[in-house]
Structure 1
């Protein structure tokens, strides 16, 4: 079968389509014929060696796929079932960008009927990140106030929808051109991140139980100042200089908290709970608003390059077998 592999760590040019042995099902796995695979920034981190993790041999790229079951001894998955997963290609598991993938049964989920497979696989990485951050890391509750920074991005849009559905008061920052979209998704107040939004929030007397910075561009001290007593900031990225400063005394005296989250460290239980949330939302037509750029396995190197160069423009690259 054909798969996108890399033999050594390095740049996007290390990726190539190769003929590899088709996997067979072993205990607790299901064989899936791949329909489509999404390309994420984390895939570039694995390929480059920036994210340290055990890899299967051969090193097949990618973690998120949608496809159909072709062989299964598992009662919950029958031949012909449409399924998805979002945790392949790291911690020693086979990667997703192959014609066939043997997926551990505890990492495989049914795809809801009537949901477009390309839109689904484009959404699962950012949507699962949003779900786990909200429900497992931050444990948001109805009536709380949440500030989402960089809300027009892939993760930000998912955060708006899920938080609003949970009864949270959502406030967002984005470019002014994205205000209408953020409001349609559930933001109750929009602020321009280029126009000194922190001063405007103070003037409007906003304080928050939670702040999520999806951009890495906002000073940590700024976000901590916007929190209520016992509030928390969650980071899913970091500034380019890898540095933040903040006042420690005010931080601990107000019992504030700082969380970091990387989906590659999510547990099987966290991923499964997120899958339930996502499938319910997908069935209701939610979280499926990504702009999909359809490519093929052979296009994987240039998709990785576009992501590394910041030329994706919020597009989600989805690869189909050649």
Structure 2
């Protein structure tokens, strides 16, 4: 099968399409024929060596997949022909930029019926990050005020929609050119984070969803007893101590595979309450170009590789 592998860390040019053996599913695993694979900032960080999550190369990056079950191992939850999407093995290697991936069947869920594979591949890592932060950690509920950083990005644009589906009042931070896009997602207020004193316009909130390492600054707008959810500083014990000392709660999020949450997200999608936005697509052979774009940090929504 074809797969994108890197034999050294470095720029996007280290990504190359090679022929490797097709995996076989073990017990409780499914072999997925991948139709599309999502591209995330963590992929580029691992590829470059800035985030040595997978150790020394060679390895394949990529985790988001959507495709069709080709074969199953004993005890797997699905049958051949089922359409599934998921986040296999994260944070261990999954080699998701590939024609086939063997994955534990409880790390994938049925693809939302209203989405094609490209759209579905945009959901797992970003959607689970938003869900696990807002729903599982913050327990966001109807009527609460939530501040969402980088609201136009891959995680942020799904976080806005999930928060609205929970009945929250959403205050979104985005650059001015992206305000119309973020309002279209359902945000109640959109503030330009580049403006001087932008946090003063926020007011007091119950939850901050921070994907931009602004935890200390965001603490100023968080009410006593509120929750700071951080996906970039989940390791920061000093920040956690500062938040707790201020009478707020810190929730550091490192996303993990979770089929039940994927099913909940899929339900919202099929109800028309959540929709992934695709910024651009590239064929598998142009994974390097996809990485160049994701590394710019200016992507609106998600980038996806088409595989089959």
Provide the rounded CA distance (Å) in 2 between the counterparts of 1:89 and 1:95: 10
Tell me which residue corresponds to 1:197: 198
| Structure 2 unmatched runs, 5+ | none
Give per-residue Cα distances to partners, 1:154-186, cap 9 Å, x unaligned.
222211111111122222222334334333323
TM-score, structure 2 as length reference: 0.87
Q: CA deviation at 1:247?
A: 11
**Residues 1:176 and 1:44: Cα distance change in structure 2 (over 3 Å):** closer
Tell me which residue corresponds to 1:41: 41
Q: CA deviation at 1:58?
A: 6.2
Of 292, 300, 303, which residue of structure 2 is paired with 1:314? 300
**Residues 1:281 and 1:221: Cα distance change in structure 2 (over 3 Å):** same
Give per-residue Cα distances to partners, 1:23-66, cap 9 Å, x unaligned.
11211211111111111111122223433445799622211111
Tell me which residue corresponds to 1:20: 20
Provide the rounded CA distance (Å) in 1 between the counterparts of 2:150 and 2:90: 28
Of 218, 222, 232, which residue of structure 2 is paired with 1:237? 232
| Structure 1 unmatched runs, 5+ | none
Provide the rounded CA distance (Å) in 2 between the counterparts of 1:247 and 1:102: 40
Of 280, 286, 297, which residue of structure 2 is paired with 1:293? 280
1:302 matched to 2:294? The reply is no
1:82 matched to 2:113? The reply is no
Provide the rounded CA distance (Å) in 1 between the counterparts of 2:201 and 2:150: 16
Tell me which residue corresponds to 2:222: 227
Tell me which residue corresponds to 1:210: 207
**Residues 1:299 and 1:172: Cα distance change in structure 2 (over 3 Å):** same
Larger radius of gyration: 1
1:2 matched to 2:28? The reply is no
Question: What SS class does the counterpart of residue 123 from structure 2 fall into?
Answer: helix
1:283 matched to 2:282? The reply is no
Provide the rounded CA distance (Å) in 2 between the counterparts of 1:215 and 1:152: 12
Is the CA contact 2:113–2:270 (under 8 Å) kept in the aligned structure 1? Answer: yes
Provide the rounded CA distance (Å) in 2 between the counterparts of 1:32 and 1:48: 27
Is the CA contact 2:9–2:57 (under 8 Å) kept in the aligned structure 1? Answer: no
Provide the rounded CA distance (Å) in 2 between the counterparts of 1:90 and 1:113: 27
Q: CA deviation at 1:124?
A: 2.6
- Taking the TM superposition and a 5 Å limit, the aligned residue runs for 1:40-59 are 40-54=40-54, 59=59
Give per-residue Cα distances to partners, 1:7-27, cap 9 Å, x unaligned.
233332221111111111211
Is the CA contact 1:31–1:70 (under 8 Å) kept in the aligned structure 2? Answer: yes
Is the CA contact 2:161–2:185 (under 8 Å) kept in the aligned structure 1? Answer: yes
Q: Name whichever of 74-83 and 176-185 sits farther off.
A: 176-185
Is the CA contact 2:88–2:94 (under 8 Å) kept in the aligned structure 1? Answer: no
Q: Name whichever of 45-54 and 119-128 sits farther off.
A: 45-54
Following TM superposition, where does structure 1 have runs of at least 4 consecutive aligned residues deviating by more than 4 angstroms?
54-58, 244-248, 251-254
**Residues 1:175 and 1:130: Cα distance change in structure 2 (over 3 Å):** same
Is the CA contact 1:59–1:94 (under 8 Å) kept in the aligned structure 2? Answer: no
Q: Name whichever of 59-68 and 278-287 sits farther off.
A: 278-287
**Residues 1:20 and 1:253: Cα distance change in structure 2 (over 3 Å):** closer
Q: Give the superposed CA RMSD.
A: 2.8
Is the CA contact 2:170–2:187 (under 8 Å) kept in the aligned structure 1? Answer: yes
**Residues 1:315 and 1:135: Cα distance change in structure 2 (over 3 Å):** closer
Provide the rounded CA distance (Å) in 2 between the counterparts of 1:252 and 1:166: 25
